[in-house]
């Protein structure tokens, strides 16, 4: 780790991997790519890490069933009488009385007409036929990766969370699918929407409007760094960093970004300072006082640290070294593999399984306790 923080920002991870794997500076992009894979995919997929858990909610729409519909077999336009279709019903499903198929609504034509897909099946035309129009698929958070087992969507019952289990496709098709609106009891992950968000299907489709909460494992984006421009001034013991030609505003102020002056140390000798706030592209504020002497003109790095507990940061270093050396007949490859496995094992014990071999129910179980 660096000289003054336990976190290891992306720039230092790259520099330390270069040293450990004995690769040249021309491999920087290759190393960054492997780091991104280890950080965003490999480690998050190992376990349902509690520190990657997030929460959100979904407000579901009520079923619509006023009026009647008329259309002929083979038609794709449903015409409504004595009521109106909601304008936001594209993406919903419609089920007609006496017809087994649930149809997708693919276009809203007017308050009294919709386009459905597929065309109306069966040999019977619809004449003043009742219908059920419902929405069963909803988008999840943009950073959604997966539900924890056995599912993440829940409703409150008796003051407790009641999970709606996630259904696998084969069970969904054979046993669980329902085309009649009711009270959702299960869920299924389906395709992503046009915005790239994962969607979930409620089974059966909801009849009434209500709010469901959900817990999920979030996805991570690759870490970012910038070295644009130069530092123009930092006062000794100060917290304000002024720069020229920088791009500070491209970073976030969520506590995961760190700043260093490069000529004061790189790699494990770096001195990183957490960023508290960013005023504009050329000014930011550090969370702690800059401990060095005053700096006038210097190169800098503004880099993001992994969104993991700091004890797991070194796992990204070893995991990257393992991938870099495994195809080079490097004798250290096995060492990096063992170190990587050890870091993950320790993290699982601390954050996931949390076993304690000497747990005490109370002070009376401590052998040092005297009555």
pLDDT of 188 strictly over 50: yes
Q: Which of 134, 156, 181 is the last residue of a domain?
A: 134
Count of domains observed in the chain? 2
Q: Which of 114, 134, 154 is the last residue of a domain?
A: 134
pLDDT score of 169: 78
pLDDT of 366 strictly over 50: no
Q: Is residue 236 in a domain?
A: no
- On whether both 206 and 164 belong to a single domain, the answer is yes
- On whether both 192 and 175 belong to a single domain, the answer is yes
pLDDT of 44 strictly over 90: yes
Q: What is the mean pLDDT of residues 344-360?
A: 75
- On whether both 153 and 207 belong to a single domain, the answer is yes
Predicted model pTM: 0.82
Using one digit for the tens of pLDDT, what is the confidence trace for 270-286? 999 999 999 999 999 99
Q: Is residue 240 in a domain?
A: no
The 3-state secondary structure of the chain, one letter per residue = CCCCCCCCCHHHHHHHHHHHHCCCHHHHHHHHHHHHHHHHHHHHHHCCCHHHEEEEEEEECCCECCCEEEECCCCCEEEEECCCCCCCCCCCEEEECCCCCEEEEEEEEECCEEEEECCCCCCCCEEEECEEEECCEEECCCCEEECCCCCCEEEEECCEEEECCECCHHHHHHHHCCCCCECCCEEEEEEECCCCCEEEEEECCECCCEEEEEEEEECCCCCCEECCCEEEEECCCCCEEEEECCCHHHCCCCCCEEEEEHHHCCHHHCCCEEEEEEEECCEEEECCCCCCCCECCECEEEEECCCCCHHHHHHHHHHHHHHHHCCCCCCCHHHHHHHHHHHHHHHHHHHHHCCCCCCCCCHHHCCCCCC
Domain that holds residue 205: 50-61+137-218
Q: Which of 170, 195, 218 is the last residue of a domain?
A: 218
- On whether both 72 and 209 belong to a single domain, the answer is no
- On whether both 104 and 121 belong to a single domain, the answer is yes
pLDDT score of 274: 96
* Whole-number percent of the chain with pLDDT over 90: 69
The C-alpha atoms of residue 272 and residue 5 are separated, in whole angstroms, by 7
Band of the pLDDT at 321, cuts 50, 70, 90? very high
Using one digit for the tens of pLDDT, what is the confidence trace for 21-42? 887 777 888 999 999 999 999 9
Q: Is residue 334 in a domain?
A: no
Band of the pLDDT at 327, cuts 50, 70, 90? low
Q: Is residue 320 in a domain?
A: no
- On whether both 129 and 141 belong to a single domain, the answer is no
- On whether both 81 and 210 belong to a single domain, the answer is no
- On whether both 54 and 182 belong to a single domain, the answer is yes
- On whether both 154 and 93 belong to a single domain, the answer is no
pLDDT score of 364: 41
Band of the pLDDT at 230, cuts 50, 70, 90? very high
Average pLDDT over the chain, rounded to an integer: 89
Q: Is residue 29 in a domain?
A: no
> Kind of pairing, strands 210-218 and 144-146?
antiparallel
Q: Is residue 313 in a domain?
A: no
Q: Is residue 88 in a domain?
A: yes
pLDDT score of 1: 59
Q: Is residue 107 in a domain?
A: yes
Q: If you average pLDDT over each of 75-79, 171-175, 235-239, 366-370, which comes out highest?
A: 75-79
- On whether both 157 and 181 belong to a single domain, the answer is yes
Q: What is the mean pLDDT of residues 209-221?
A: 94
pLDDT of 60 strictly over 90: yes
């Amino acid at each position: 780790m660096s000289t003054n923080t336990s976190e290891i920002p992306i720039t230092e991870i790259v520099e330390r991997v270069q040293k450990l794997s004995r690769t040249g500076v021309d491999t920087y992009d290759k190393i960054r790519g492997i780091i991104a894979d280890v950080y965003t995919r490999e480690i998050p997929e190992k376990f349902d890490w509690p520190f990657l858990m997030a929460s959100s909610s979904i407000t579901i729409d009520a079923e619509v069933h006023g009026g009647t519909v008329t259309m002929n077999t083979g038609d794709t336009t449903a015409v409504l009488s004595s009521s109106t279709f909601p304008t936001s019903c594209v993406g919903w499903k419609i089920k007609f009385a006496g017809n087994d198929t649930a149809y997708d609504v693919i276009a809203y034509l007017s308050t009294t007409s919709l386009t459905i897909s597929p065309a109306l099946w069966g040999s019977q035309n619809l004449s003043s036929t009742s219908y059920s129009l419902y929405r069963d698929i909803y988008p999840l958070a943009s950073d959604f990766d997966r539900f924890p087992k056995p599912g993440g969507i829940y409703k409150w019952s008796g003051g407790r969370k009641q999970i709606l289990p996630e259904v696998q496709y084969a069970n969904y098709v054979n046993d669980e699918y329902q085309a009649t609106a009711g009270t959702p009891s299960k869920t299924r992950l389906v395709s992503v929407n046009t915005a790239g968000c994962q969607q979930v299907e409620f089974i059966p489709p909801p009849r009434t409007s209500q709010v469901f909460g959900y817990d999920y494992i979030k996805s991570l984006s690759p870490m970012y760094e910038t070295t644009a421009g130069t530092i123009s001034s930092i006062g000794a013991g100060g917290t304000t960093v002024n720069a020229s030609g920088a791009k500070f505003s491209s970073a976030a102020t969520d506590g995961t970004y760190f700043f260093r002056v490069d000529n004061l140390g790189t790699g494990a000798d770096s001195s990183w300072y957490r960023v508290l706030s960013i005023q504009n592209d050329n000014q930011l504020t550090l969370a702690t006082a800059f401990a060095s002497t005053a700096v006038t003109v210097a190169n800098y790095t503004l880099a993001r640290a992994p969104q993991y507990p700091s004890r797991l940061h070194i796992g990204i270093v070893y995991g990257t070294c393992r991938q870099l050396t495994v195809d080079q007949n490097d004798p250290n490859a096995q060492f990096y593999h063992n170190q990587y496995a050890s870091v993950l094992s320790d993290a699982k014990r601390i954050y996931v399984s949390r076993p304690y071999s000497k747990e005490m129910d109370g002070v009376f179980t401590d052998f040092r306790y005297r009555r």
